[in-house]
Amino acid sequence: MKHPLFQAALALLRPQGRAESGQYLVESTSFVIQALDAQVVTALFCTAAALEQISPHCDNEMTLYVVGSGLMQKLVGTGYTTDVNAIAVVRKQEITLEEILEGENKLILACENIQDPRNVGVLIRTAEAANCAAIMLSSNSAECYSRAAVRSSTGSITRLPVQISSDLLSDLTVAAKNGFSIVAGSAKAPSSLYDLDTLPTRRVILVGNETTGLTPEAAGVATQLVRIPMKSGGPSSLNVTVAAGIMLFHLNH
């Protein structure tokens, strides 16, 4: 298919195409429907098998193309066959630091150097589930708009605003100066998460790399450094997505 919109969608299989266009691909019928309901879809491709499910969620101005399984497979971009029946071109929902600093009663998840795109996706999903206003990702983290990250977010990336920070430590410092409490998780912290005093209504939960945790510089930015108590003689750490979930839900009750 040589249609310009199809060719533009194919370009979104590459990081450069996503960066230049401000768009990315969402695949599978259920996630596409979520994106349609969030009103962030700019173009839509589906097979005849998915049309009945998809069409009720499309407004009259939606550009929708019914394509065969071969063209759909090209848009998936894998070397193996999948059962994907719908793919949407979606606008990135990005937010600035200035927008994060606005308003009261905010919970933000900040992530430093997360390398597994699937973890990035689950962190986005977890942040939305915990009612975060946004997620901050350091620019050296895995791309949140890759296929693996988008699929792992299970639709949350179409709704939760994302800030890709070129200098996360500087942004967190600015947030702290503007009344945000920066609560960082570290297995080496002397204080327990459950011993935290009452926090301000504006707070950032900060987590670090899957293997090495937070850098010393990031830990130094934190206003509170805490650990999650675990069974003596058991595992020494948790997956970053689990740790983030525990912290977010504990501090948002």
Tally of structural domains, the chain: 2
State which of 91, 124, 144 marks the end of a domain: 91
Q: Distance between CA 212 and CA 200 in Å, rounded?
A: 29
CB 63 within 8 A of CB 5: yes
In the chain, where does DSSP find H-type helix?
Answer: 4-11, 15-21, 29-37, 48-54, 69-76, 97-101, 117-129, 147-152, 168-177, 216-221, 240-251
Taking a C-beta distance cutoff of 8 angstroms, is the pair 136, 180 a contact?
A: no
| Cα 237-140-21 angle, rounded to 5 deg | 130
Instruction: For residue range 212-231, list pLDDT tens digits in order.
Output: 999 999 999 999 999 999 87
pLDDT reported for residue 196: 86
User: 72 with 105, same domain?
Assistant: no
Q: Please indicate, yes or no, whether residues 132 and 78 belong to a single structural domain of this protein.
A: no
* One domain, residues 66 and 34: yes
Q: Do residues 128 and 238 both lie within one domain?
A: yes
Residues 82 and 198 in one domain: no
Question: Which range of residues forms the domain containing residue 39?
Answer: 4-91
Q: What is the pLDDT of residues 72-114, one digit of tens each?
A: 999 998 878 788 999 999 999 999 999 999 988 899 999 999 9
Asked which of 91, 106, 132 is the last residue of a domain, the reply is 91
Same domain membership, residue 194 and residue 139: yes
Both 127 and 10 in one domain: the answer is no
Give the strands of the sheet with 162-165, arranged side by side: 162-165, 134-138, 106-111, 202-207, 181-185, 224-227, 191-192
136 shares a domain with 29:
no
Is the domain of 163 the same as that of 236? Answer: yes
pLDDT value at residue 83: 87
Low-confidence spans in the chain with pLDDT less than 70: 1, 253
Pairing of strands 86-91, 41-46: antiparallel
- CATH number of the domain enclosing 189: 3.40.1280.10
What is the pLDDT, as a whole number, of residue 62? 85
Token pair, residue 247, equals: 């912290």
Show which of 91, 110, 134 is a domain's final residue: 91
| Pair 8, 45 in one domain | yes
Is 75 in the same domain as 132? Answer: no
CATH number at residue 26: 3.30.1330.30
Per-residue model confidence (pLDDT) at position 1: 60
